[in-house]
């Protein structure tokens, strides 16, 4: 019997939908075994589902592909939440305590729940991230077990427009349960950043239509914002400015050697001069970097408050982007990698554009309870089962059958009685002929 737990996670982005499967062994090792992608155009805008039916159909195709590959039926999934309106809001809760008793985990959970009830007009709270705990004016990283007469919790509410989650719920309204909605930027921050980086770091996730900026300070999330800018803005600038198709503009963008260098080679790519395309790339890139830098000001910080920038996302693969970000911020920049806790079994999908999906799998694998699994494996002892059908009972091995044809009867060696009867019949037949 298969004792592995199976985790299925979906990342629904503006340019693609990705479904992936991880296997968690009884020893706790997590391996990514399958990944299926569907590219969609204009069905998801700025991370928000626009065309529910098209996205639903794409997810159904991905699920069918996964079920065929894994040999099982998907029961439920984990889904990443991201999008243009996703950002953080500060919430504080003060509470008096019984100074004769240590603070329990239940007390902290209750205070965090109270923090989530602070309403943010026109927004829905997706998650609560504690930032600092102060017990009797003393800051503590872990208040459980501490004795005091009062506690103050400062937390970040991760909020978004209700449409983000509502449309995700509509997409998964066809019989597949969503086990949990995971905030994608939080999963990325947990599994891409190191402990030392979370002491002071900016995490920049640049996608097709949005760029999410998460700022960490003193070990916890201090600020999160989503910008309506991404790699597709650059592509459209080339497409509109040089009157070429968007697909052509995308290929030109990817094939220019360091397009942010002022001395870029002037060559022709699919009928487009690289120097002309580079002008559009550089102009939009300056705008994106300026907006990223401005997030420090909006968070009430300066470059001195953080030590580095970690860059991920499909849009972040633009050649020279990391170097330009370093020049403009005076901070060290590194490219983020997939979670080191994961074992990628198929290196064909070990690509930077799937880091967010891998982080969702890692987070779900950490959260899933013992004995739970997202996939019910088919029992091959009862025959192969196609998803959504009843098991097909296996047939017994076909035994050699004795033929019962007339031809076989003629070939069968006759007994003495049959010989006598045949001879008598021949004699009668001869008499009949004579009579005629």
Is 121 among the domain residues? yes
Is 13 among the domain residues? no
pLDDT, position 116:
83
Is 125 among the domain residues? yes
Nearest by Cα to 93 from 134, 136, 137: 134
pLDDT, position 391:
36
pLDDT, one tens digit per residue, over 220-272 is: 999 999 999 999 999 999 999 999 999 999 999 999 988 998 888 889 999 99
Q: Judge whether residue 383 has pLDDT over 60.
A: no
Is 301 among the domain residues? no
Mean pLDDT of all residues belonging to the chain: 87
Is 138 among the domain residues? yes
Residue 297's SS3 state is: helix
CA distance 403 to 307: 85
Q: Judge whether residue 396 has pLDDT over 90.
A: no
pLDDT, position 174:
81
pLDDT, one tens digit per residue, over 187-233 is: 999 999 999 999 999 999 999 999 999 999 999 999 999 999 999 99
Residue 220's SS3 state is: strand
pLDDT, one tens digit per residue, over 368-377 is: 999 999 999 8
Q: Judge whether residue 323 has pLDDT over 50.
A: yes
At 406, the pLDDT band (50, 70, 90 cuts) reads very low
At 400, the pLDDT band (50, 70, 90 cuts) reads very low
Is 239 among the domain residues? no
CATH of the domain at 113: 3.30.1490.110
CA distance 283 to 141: 43
Is 201 among the domain residues? no
Residue 133's SS3 state is: strand
pTM: predicted TM-score of the whole model, two decimal places: 0.84
Q: List the domain range (segments joined by +) for residue 129.
A: 87-160
Number of domains in the chain: 1
Report the Cα 354 to chain-centroid distance in Å. Answer: 7
Is 311 among the domain residues? no
pLDDT, position 418:
55
Q: What is the mean pLDDT of residues 300-313?
A: 95
Q: Are 50 and 68 in contact (CB under 8 A)?
A: no
pLDDT, position 405:
45
Burial of 340 (0-12, 13-18, 19+ CB in 10 A): exposed
The sheet that has 138-140: what strands, in order across it?
87-96, 150-160, 124-135, 138-140
Report the b/e string of 100-121 with b at 16+ CB within 10 A: eeebeeebbeebbebbbeeeee
């Amino acid at each position: 019997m298969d004792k592995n737990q199976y985790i299925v996670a979906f990342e629904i982005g503006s340019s693609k939908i990705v479904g992936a499967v991880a296997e968690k062994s009884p020893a706790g090792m997590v391996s990514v075994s399958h990944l299926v992608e569907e590219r969609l155009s204009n069905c998801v805008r700025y991370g928000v589902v626009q065309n529910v039916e098209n996205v639903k159909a794409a997810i159904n195709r991905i699920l069918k592909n996964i079920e065929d590959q894994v040999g099982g039926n998907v029961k439920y999934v984990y889904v990443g939440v991201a999008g243009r309106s996703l950002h953080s809001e500060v919430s504080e809760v003060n509470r008096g305590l019984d100074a004769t008793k240590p603070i329990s985990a239940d007390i902290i959970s209750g205070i965090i729940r109270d923090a989530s009830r602070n309403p943010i007009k026109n927004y829905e709270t997706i998650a609560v991230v504690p930032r600092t705990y102060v017990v009797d004016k003393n800051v503590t990283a872990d208040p459980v077990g501490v004795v005091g007469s009062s506690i103050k919790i400062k937390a970040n509410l991760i909020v978004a427009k209700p449409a983000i989650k509502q449309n995700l719920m509509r997409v998964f309204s066809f019989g597949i349960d969503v086990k949990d909605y995971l905030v994608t930027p939080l999963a990325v921050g947990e599994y891409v950043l190191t402990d030392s980086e979370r002491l002071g770091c900016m995490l920049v996730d640049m996608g097709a239509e949005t760029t999410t900026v998460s700022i960490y300070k003193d070990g916890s999330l201090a600020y999160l914002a989503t910008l309506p800018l991404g790699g597709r803005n650059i592509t459209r600038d080339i497409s509109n400015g040089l009157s070429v198709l968007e697909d052509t503009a995308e290929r030109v963008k990817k094939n220019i050697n360091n397009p942010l260098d002022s001395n870029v080679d002037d060559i022709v790519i699919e009928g487009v001069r690289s120097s002309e395309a580079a002008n559009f790339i550089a102009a939009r890139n300056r705008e994106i970097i300026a907006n990223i830098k401005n997030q420090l000001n909006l968070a009430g910080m300066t470059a001195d408050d953080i030590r580095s920038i970690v860059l991920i996302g499909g849009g972040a693969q633009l050649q020279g982007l990391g170097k330009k970000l370093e020049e403009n911020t005076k901070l060290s920049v590194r490219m983020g990698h997939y979670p080191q806790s994961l074992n990628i079994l198929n290196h064909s999908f070990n690509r930077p554009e799937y880091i967010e999906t891998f982080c969702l799998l890692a987070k779900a694998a950490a959260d899933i309870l013992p004995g739970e699994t997202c996939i019910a494996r088919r029992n091959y002892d009862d025959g192969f089962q196609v998803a959504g059908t009843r098991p097909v009972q296996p047939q017994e091995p076909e035994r050699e059958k004795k033929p019962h044809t007339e031809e076989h009867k003629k070939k069968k060696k006759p007994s003495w009685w049959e010989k006598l009867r045949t001879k008598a019949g021949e004699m009668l037949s001869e008499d009949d002929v004579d009579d005629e």
